[in-house]
Amino acid sequence: MKASPLQIPDVVVFQPTVFSDDRGYFFESFNERKFSELVGHAPVFVQDNQSRSVKGVLRGLHYQIANPQGKLIRVLEGEIFDVAVDLRKSSPTFGQWVGAHLSSNEQNQIWIPEGFAHGFLVTSSHAVVAYKTTDYWSPEHERYLLWNDPAVGIEWPLTSEPLLSSKDQQALPLSRAETY
């Protein structure tokens, strides 16, 4: 497994070693020992989530102000552009974003630690996304950061207006958002 830290080095893209032959393929999607060696600690994952979305759906940017979640995200079908925004006030990268293309063809994953807002845009006809979290979903603590806040400046690979949930349509800009 190869780990590639992004411009915010706490956010890491993982590329597994895939073994392929005429029968198909095999790879380890998670190995706690290797993961902890690569990121410096072994998070405890307590929940797995999965979603299916059509092209143009933008989910996010979501975070929990209490019970923050670290997330290990991968794509089972299709392709997405995945984004993390640093909401840690004490961080030198506060308010900055990083993004990575994830796809079922590449089998890559992204680790987003606690303290970040997370979102993704579906860039293929559809995508099935699965992710592990380090804490449970806490609806009363969930918050929404505006996906197109000019102060953050995310460069989404959009071809048209994204499809948003009603919650995401009412998200707050960074200047008004609760942060860590």
DSSP state of 141: G
Q: Is 62 a catalytic residue?
A: yes
Catalytic residue among 62, 63, 118, 144: 62
Catalytic residue among 63, 118, 131, 144: 131
For residue 132, give the H/E element and its range. Answer: strand 126-133
Nearest to 85 by CA among 172, 11, 167, 12: 11
Q: Is 131 a catalytic residue?
A: yes
Question: Do 69 and 135 touch, CB atoms closer than 8 A?
Answer: yes
Per DSSP, which regions of the chain are E strands?
A: 2-5, 12-15, 19-21, 24-26, 47-54, 58-64, 71-77, 79-86, 97-103, 109-112, 116-122, 126-133, 142-144
Residue 40 is encoded by which pair of tokens?
A: 């410096």
Active-site positions? 62, 131
